[in-house]
Amino acid sequence: MDGGDNGSIADGTVEELAERSAVKMIHLGEGALNVVTTVDDKYICLAGEDGAVRFYDLQFRLEAWFEDLEAGPITSVSFSAAAPNVDPSRLDFSVPDIVVGTRNAYIVGLEAIVFEEVEPEARRGTLLVQGMSDEVHGIATHPSQPYVVIASYR
Protein backbone atom coordinates (compact mmCIF):
# COMPACT_ATOMS: atom_id res chain seq x y z
CA MET A 1 0.00 0.00 0.00
CA ASP A 2 1.32 3.45 -0.89
CA GLY A 3 0.08 6.80 0.47
CA GLY A 4 -0.40 9.56 -2.08
CA ASP A 5 -0.18 13.32 -1.89
CA ASN A 6 -3.88 13.74 -2.60
CA GLY A 7 -5.35 11.65 0.24
CA SER A 8 -5.54 8.42 -1.77
CA ILE A 9 -3.80 5.12 -1.39
CA ALA A 10 -2.95 2.60 -4.09
CA ASP A 11 -3.88 -0.97 -3.25
CA GLY A 12 -2.80 -4.09 -5.12
CA THR A 13 0.04 -3.07 -7.40
CA VAL A 14 0.88 -5.17 -10.45
CA GLU A 15 4.47 -5.61 -11.68
CA GLU A 16 4.90 -5.29 -15.45
CA LEU A 17 8.48 -5.09 -16.73
CA ALA A 18 9.69 -3.19 -13.64
CA GLU A 19 6.76 -0.76 -13.94
CA ARG A 20 4.07 -0.48 -11.29
CA SER A 21 0.51 0.54 -11.92
CA ALA A 22 -2.33 0.89 -9.45
CA VAL A 23 -5.12 -1.62 -9.70
CA LYS A 24 -7.46 0.45 -7.56
CA MET A 25 -7.29 3.98 -6.09
CA ILE A 26 -9.18 4.63 -2.87
CA HIS A 27 -9.73 8.22 -1.69
CA LEU A 28 -9.50 8.21 2.12
CA GLY A 29 -8.60 11.77 3.11
CA GLU A 30 -7.91 15.34 2.04
CA GLY A 31 -4.33 16.30 1.16
CA ALA A 32 -1.16 14.26 1.51
CA LEU A 33 -1.05 11.22 3.76
CA ASN A 34 2.02 11.46 6.01
CA VAL A 35 1.28 8.36 8.11
CA VAL A 36 0.05 4.99 6.82
CA THR A 37 0.35 2.18 9.36
CA THR A 38 -1.55 -0.74 10.85
CA VAL A 39 -2.59 -1.17 14.46
CA ASP A 40 -2.87 -4.60 16.11
CA ASP A 41 -3.45 -6.21 12.68
CA LYS A 42 -7.00 -4.87 13.01
CA TYR A 43 -6.99 -1.27 11.76
CA ILE A 44 -5.27 0.89 9.17
CA CYS A 45 -4.30 4.27 10.60
CA LEU A 46 -4.01 7.23 8.22
CA ALA A 47 -2.99 10.77 9.15
CA GLY A 48 -1.79 13.72 7.17
CA GLU A 49 -2.04 17.26 5.95
CA ASP A 50 -5.70 17.70 6.86
CA GLY A 51 -4.83 17.37 10.58
CA ALA A 52 -6.99 14.30 11.11
CA VAL A 53 -6.22 10.76 12.29
CA ARG A 54 -8.54 8.14 10.79
CA PHE A 55 -8.86 4.43 11.44
CA TYR A 56 -10.23 1.99 8.86
CA ASP A 57 -10.85 -1.72 9.15
CA LEU A 58 -8.96 -3.99 6.77
CA GLN A 59 -11.76 -3.62 4.19
CA PHE A 60 -11.29 0.19 4.26
CA ARG A 61 -14.50 0.90 6.18
CA LEU A 62 -14.13 3.95 8.42
CA GLU A 63 -14.15 2.87 12.09
CA ALA A 64 -13.10 6.03 13.96
CA TRP A 65 -11.80 9.50 13.23
CA PHE A 66 -10.17 12.29 15.18
CA GLU A 67 -10.71 15.48 13.16
CA ASP A 68 -11.06 18.11 15.91
CA LEU A 69 -7.45 18.19 17.11
CA GLU A 70 -6.78 21.73 15.80
CA ALA A 71 -3.05 21.03 16.05
CA GLY A 72 -2.05 21.30 12.38
CA PRO A 73 -0.96 18.73 9.80
CA ILE A 74 -0.02 15.37 11.35
CA THR A 75 3.58 14.28 10.74
CA SER A 76 3.84 11.25 13.05
CA VAL A 77 1.63 8.86 15.01
CA SER A 78 2.83 6.56 17.81
CA PHE A 79 0.91 4.01 19.83
CA SER A 80 1.33 2.91 23.44
CA ALA A 81 2.74 -0.57 24.01
CA ALA A 82 0.16 -1.01 26.80
CA ALA A 83 -3.18 -2.65 26.09
CA PRO A 84 -6.02 -0.30 25.14
CA ASN A 85 -7.63 1.50 28.06
CA VAL A 86 -11.21 1.14 26.79
CA ASP A 87 -14.24 -0.72 28.12
CA PRO A 88 -15.11 -3.02 25.19
CA SER A 89 -18.76 -3.11 26.27
CA ARG A 90 -19.03 0.65 25.57
CA LEU A 91 -17.10 1.00 22.36
CA ASP A 92 -16.38 -1.37 19.48
CA PHE A 93 -13.34 0.69 18.49
CA SER A 94 -10.32 -0.06 20.66
CA VAL A 95 -6.68 0.93 20.07
CA PRO A 96 -3.80 1.74 22.43
CA ASP A 97 -3.35 5.36 23.51
CA ILE A 98 -2.10 7.57 20.70
CA VAL A 99 0.51 10.33 20.54
CA VAL A 100 0.64 12.52 17.43
CA GLY A 101 3.26 15.03 16.29
CA THR A 102 2.32 17.93 14.05
CA ARG A 103 3.90 20.34 11.61
CA ASN A 104 2.96 23.14 14.04
CA ALA A 105 5.38 21.54 16.55
CA TYR A 106 2.65 20.26 18.87
CA ILE A 107 2.51 16.83 20.46
CA VAL A 108 -1.00 15.70 21.37
CA GLY A 109 -2.07 12.65 23.38
CA LEU A 110 -5.31 10.84 22.51
CA GLU A 111 -7.26 8.02 24.05
CA ALA A 112 -9.67 5.98 21.92
CA ILE A 113 -12.48 6.82 24.35
CA VAL A 114 -12.49 10.50 23.24
CA PHE A 115 -14.02 9.29 19.96
CA GLU A 116 -17.31 8.92 21.88
CA GLU A 117 -17.35 12.57 22.98
CA VAL A 118 -20.02 14.80 21.45
CA GLU A 119 -18.46 18.24 21.90
CA PRO A 120 -15.52 19.09 19.59
CA GLU A 121 -13.54 20.58 22.51
CA ALA A 122 -13.68 17.22 24.31
CA ARG A 123 -12.31 15.42 21.21
CA ARG A 124 -9.11 17.48 20.91
CA GLY A 125 -6.99 15.26 23.12
CA THR A 126 -4.39 16.54 25.57
CA LEU A 127 -1.67 18.95 24.49
CA LEU A 128 1.54 17.32 25.79
CA VAL A 129 4.24 19.53 24.26
CA GLN A 130 4.07 22.92 22.59
CA GLY A 131 6.91 25.11 21.45
CA MET A 132 9.34 22.83 19.66
CA SER A 133 11.69 24.79 17.37
CA ASP A 134 10.49 22.92 14.27
CA GLU A 135 7.82 20.47 13.14
CA VAL A 136 7.83 17.10 14.92
CA HIS A 137 9.09 14.28 12.67
CA GLY A 138 9.16 11.42 15.13
CA ILE A 139 8.29 10.37 18.67
CA ALA A 140 9.63 7.29 20.46
CA THR A 141 9.32 6.06 24.02
CA HIS A 142 11.51 3.73 26.05
CA PRO A 143 9.72 0.38 26.55
CA SER A 144 10.25 0.24 30.33
CA GLN A 145 11.56 3.64 31.46
CA PRO A 146 9.73 6.99 31.58
CA TYR A 147 11.73 8.48 28.67
CA VAL A 148 10.53 10.02 25.45
CA VAL A 149 12.55 11.18 22.43
CA ILE A 150 11.15 13.85 20.11
CA ALA A 151 12.84 14.37 16.74
CA SER A 152 12.84 17.46 14.55
CA TYR A 153 15.27 18.86 11.97
CA ARG A 154 16.37 21.88 14.03
pLDDT digit string, tens, across residues 20-74? 676 777 777 788 889 889 988 889 999 999 999 999 999 888 888 888 888 999 9
* Nearest partner of 73 among 117, 119, 137, judged by Cα: 137
Give the CB-side neighbour count of residue 52, counting CA atoms within 13 A: 18
Q: Are 102 and 73 in contact (CB under 8 A)?
A: yes
